[in-house]
Amino acid sequence: MALRRILITGSTDGIGLLAARRLATAGHRVLVHGRDPAKVERVVRELQGAGGQAAGLVADLSRPPTVAALATAVVEKHGGIDVLVNNVGVFLTPDPLTPEGLDVRFAVNTIAPCLLTRRLLSQLPADGRVVNVASAAQRPVDLRALAGERRIADDFEAYAQSKLALVMWTNHLAAALGGRGPVLLSVNPGSLLATKMVREAFGRARRPAEYGAQVLEHAALDPAFARPGACFDGDSGRFAPPHPDALDPAKCERVVETIEAVLARLGVPVET
């Protein structure tokens, strides 16, 4: 298999960290990303110490300007990537609102991967890939909440809406690309994997986190996952139809328009 340059967002912990270890061990060049510089450095040293090729990037993905700066750093400092794994996700948070007035779940789980992908899209090779990490938790998207105009009080509801919004955005862009350029797909890595997020939110796990890391590895590299707009369901271990809203082009378009309107309001162009 050709060796690839792979950025995994949120690879300082959880399934992102485990996937980074697997991919670096297999010889791929891994760009480790996280929000905590010390954790990023620790992971990079660990991967390099084990003989892997790795470099680090630090960015808080709850802030759109920082997401845009991350994309610039990927290209200017690291010469680009072949595979983007948009893995960062937030469920529980002590402070659900960003300084821009967005729910952190929408900012981190939806808007950040969409912006990062759009900013890197023209740099990705035709045989590249974008893996958007979703969840079995999906609820119809309240566009006003996505836009930061209405609060969602329930953490699960905010998380599930942010994940469906990501799948809808992915399907819209995959359809727009029409098979040209990199493959974009969504994956649910499996539910209740033993990670920090699940410990904090549920206090119990159903499967080892390594299971989700394997799903990410396959999604990033396996030719069987080169299916534009497809959704892989880690719970059943199969590709599965997405939530009906993700099959409705008009609904998907409204999600895309809302994300772009938020970014325009914040003065962050989706493309450079």
Q: Give the residue among 219, 249, 216 at the shortest CA–CA distance from 19.
A: 216
Q: Which residues pair with 6 in a beta bridge?
A: 30, 83
Q: How far is the CB of 201 from ligand NAP (least distance, A)?
A: 9
Return the residue of 16, 128, 148, 228 that touches ligand NAP, per CB under 6 A.
Answer: 16
| 42 is a site residue for ligand NAP (CB under 6 A) | no
Q: Which is nearer to ligand NAP, 15 or 181 (CB)?
A: 15
Return the residue of 22, 53, 55, 60 that touches ligand NAP, per CB under 6 A.
Answer: 60
Return the residue of 15, 81, 152, 168 that touches ligand NAP, per CB under 6 A.
Answer: 15
Stretch that binds ligand NAP, among 45-53, 60-68, 173-181, 248-256 (CB under 6 A): 60-68
Using DSSP's 3-state secondary structure scheme, residue 108 falls into helix
Kindly give the residue spans of alpha helices, DSSP state H, lying in the chain. 14-25, 37-49, 64-78, 104-105, 112-120, 143-146, 155-177, 196-202, 209-221, 249-265
Return the residue of 22, 26, 39, 48 that touches ligand NAP, per CB under 6 A.
Answer: 39
Q: Which is nearer to ligand NAP, 108 or 183 (CB)?
A: 108
Stretch that binds ligand NAP, among 9-17, 71-79, 142-150, 242-250 (CB under 6 A): 9-17
Cα–Cα–Cα angle for 75, 77, 80, rounded to 5 degrees: 30
x/- binding map, residues 124-143, to ligand NAP, per CB under 6 A? ---------x-x--------
Return the residue of 111, 193, 230, 255 that touches ligand NAP, per CB under 6 A.
Answer: 193
Instruction: Give the CA count within 13 Å in the CB-facing half-sphere of 62.
Output: 16
Q: How far is the CB of 76 from ligand NAP (least distance, A)?
A: 20
Q: How many CB atoms lie within 10 A of CB 65?
A: 14
Query: How far is it, in rounded angstroms, from Cα 171 to Cα 184?
Result: 8
DSSP letter, residue 197: H
Stretch that binds ligand NAP, among 35-43, 149-157, 169-177, 219-227 (CB under 6 A): 35-43
Query: How far is it, in rounded angstroms, from Cα 264 to Cα 266?
Result: 5
Return the residue of 23, 30, 108, 259 that touches ligand NAP, per CB under 6 A.
Answer: 108
Residues 199-218 that bind ligand NAP (CB under 6 A): none
Q: Which residues pair with 233 in a beta bridge?
A: 188, 238
Q: Which residue matches tokens 């981190």? A: 108
Extract the tokens encoding 214. 């394997």
Binding residues for ligand NAP, per CB under 6 A?
10, 12-16, 34-36, 39, 60-62, 87-90, 108, 133, 135, 188-189, 191-193, 195-198
